[in-house]
Structure 1
Amino acid sequence: MRFDLVDLHLFIAVADERSITRGAVRAHLALASASARIKGLEQTFGAVLLRRGRRGVELTAAGESLLDHARIVIHNVDAMRGDLAAYASGVRASVHLLANTSGLSEHLPKALAAFLREHPDINVDVEERESTDIAAAIAIGAADLGFAAKHALPDNAERFRFSEDRLILVAPRRGEFAGRRQIDFQELTTCDFVGLTNSIALQGHIAKHASRLGMRLRFRARLRDFDAICLMVAADVGVAVVPEAAARRCARSMPIMMIKIRDPWANRRLAICARSFKALPRPAKQLVEHLRKAAQ
């Protein structure tokens, strides 16, 4: 087979743009050269990769398969370049990890800190995403590892359980829910809430399930920090939904109470996931082994 990285970059660009013309521009190639390269790929693989039409191109099943593999190849090449370039600056490697809000704020910091202390030659680039977005990114090879709710992961994603992540309602100790141990989320329709900013992934998760129940949550304040949210609840500004780990920590020093939310979506299992643990670069494999040992 004869094809190169330019061909793969071009094919990804054409697939993303759904146009050979726009793909050629994005890949910095002349249209004639781009067309010839696409035809060369089809001849190399002996399969039609694109269906041409007036409004652009559509991927065939073979094209979808090639796109999937091309993204993995380009991701691995970029990782290789980054790792080798890092040798010149004294840092060996970097691992790209996507994590949901709870993982990033409550479950990962301690384990990551220990890993980074033990491996001064490895950097970890952590990016916050919603669990469903993490699953999609891992599926196309856009990141090395993901830390997401297990229910959001596709069957073909490899994973192992890391921790439980129950979402808890926190309320003032002397408020209207005093004495309650459990509650259905639907009961909170008329409540004032203290929540996370819209840019934070967990807030999207909560808002999505509220919408499915026909609820429109009323927010008195939006903050980026669970401790700050719990302080607002303690001051009787409203109620809030936060991870149980954060709620327990804050309840030790604040006059708030924790109430179990009965709805199934509030009880999540968090997992470390990858497209293939075996195919990961060595630094990512080292992080995986560390996280396996740290799993609760």
Structure 2
Amino acid sequence: MHYDLTDLRVFLAVAEEAHLSRGAARCHLAPSSASLRLKGLEEAVGTPLLTRHARGVTPTRAGVVMLEHVRRCIAQLEQMHADLLPFASGLTGHITCFANNNALSAHLPEDLARFFAAYPAVRITLQERLSQDIVAAVAAGRADVGVVAMEGDHPDLEFLPYRDDELVLLAPQNSPLAAQQAVSFSACLHQPFISLQQGAALHTYLVNQATALGGRLDVRVQVSGYRAIARLVASGAGVGIVPRSAIDHADQQQVAMIKLTEDWAMRHLCVCIRRQALESNHFLAELVRTLCGSVADPGK
């Protein structure tokens, strides 16, 4: 297909402005030049992308699909330039870190703040993943370091202690569950759940645990964070399972926090690195020392 990045930018601008002239002006082009580029783009993809009318333009059904892809492509390119810019400004290090949801939401922010205070020129690509996927990524070299809720046994990796945490059940204070000191996960499956959004590591983990018990997670509401789970539970909308460390004091006063009896509810977070990786990467070694503050010589 014969089109270039400028064609995509023109299409994006015209579609978002819903007008050829305004879209062309946004791209610093004459309307006639923008029109030629759009015509060439439509010929290249083999279908009309915009419907022209007296008051402007609207995307066709194919144009709507194209628009979403173009937005993602442009955003990824912009992110690529943003990631590369520090190298031109004297960046001295870049680290890719994968972490599970628990570590990302409750522990890493403060630890990374301390690391950046000491090493402001270093950049970190931080992504959420399931623990087993993190281990595979670190072993394969797709990530420099991982934070996982498991103590693994891998011939190529080391697991260093990071934090201890616990998954707990949140229930409305007037719920029958609120009177219990501890409850099993299986006993909760008849309850409507407030959960993180689909794709979040904890959501996937709990769905898998329910499936392993021969049941399913009855998800009533999906939200983007633990605070939202706590507030919805407090309103009586359902129950939720969250890391104890992720719930602040104010929210703890509004819900009942109940211990889960399953062994997997205890979360022993570890920092996962390839063996000898710290010897060749000074900034990675410093990051690991920041995360594992009680470990005198990580990697030895």
Report the counterpart of residue 149 of structure 2 in structure 1. 149
Counterpart of 1:214 in 2: which secondary structure?
coil
Q: Do structure 1's residue 266 and structure 2's residue 265 form an aligned pair?
A: yes
The secondary structure found in structure 1 opposite 2:177 is coil
- SS in structure 2 at match of 1:287: helix
Give the direction of change, closer, same or farther, for the CA distance of 1:169–1:152 in structure 2 (3 Å limit): farther
3-state SS of paired residue (1:199): coil
Give the match for residue 12 of structure 1: none
With the length of structure 1 as denominator, give the TM-score of the two structures: 0.67
Query: 1:215 aligns to what SS in structure 2?
Result: coil
Distance 1:84 1:217, change over 3 A: closer
- Asked if the contact 1:159–1:273 (Cα under 8 Å) also holds between the matched residues in 2, the reply is yes
Deviations 1:55-80 (A, max 9, x none): xxxxxxxxxxxxxxxxxxxxxxxxxx
Find out whether 1:255 has 2:254 as its counterpart: yes
Indicate the structure (1 or 2) with the bigger Cα radius of gyration: 2
Please, which moves more after superposition, 218-227 or 152-161?
Answer: 152-161
Q: Runs of 5+ in structure 1 lacking a partner?
A: 1-82
RMSD over aligned Cα atoms: 2.1
Contact 1:230 1:250 in 2 (8 A): no
Checking the alignment, whether the CA contact within 8 Å between 2:206 and 2:217 is kept in structure 1 is no
Q: Deviations over 1:206-265 (max 9, x none)?
A: 11111101111111100011001100000000000000112354534x410100000111
Contact 2:97 2:144 in 1 (8 A): yes
Structure 2 residue aligned with 1:228: 228
1:129 alignment partner in structure 2? 129
Code of the residue aligned with 1:199 in structure 2: it is G
User: Are the aligned partners of 2:166 and 2:266 in contact in 1 as well (CA < 8 Å)?
Assistant: yes
Gaps of 5+ in 2: 1-82, 296-300
Q: How far, CA to CA, are the matches of 1:200 and 1:182 in structure 2? A: 25
Shift in CA distance, 251/169, structure 1 to aligned 2, threshold 3 Å: same
Judged with a 3 Å threshold, the aligned counterparts in structure 2 of structure 1 residues 84 and 255 are, in CA distance, closer, same or farther, namely: closer
TM-score, normalization by structure 2 = 0.66
For 2:199, the aligned partner's letter is S
CA distance in 1, matches of 2:210, 2:153: 21
CA distance in 2, matches of 1:179, 1:235: 17
Return the alpha-carbon distance in structure 1 between the equivalents of residues 153 and 212 of structure 2.
20
Over the matched positions of the two proteins, sequence identity in percent amounts to 32
**CA distance in structure 2 between the aligned counterparts of 1:280 and 1:257, rounded to whole angstroms:** 48
1:153/1:172 CA distance change after superposition, 3 Å: farther
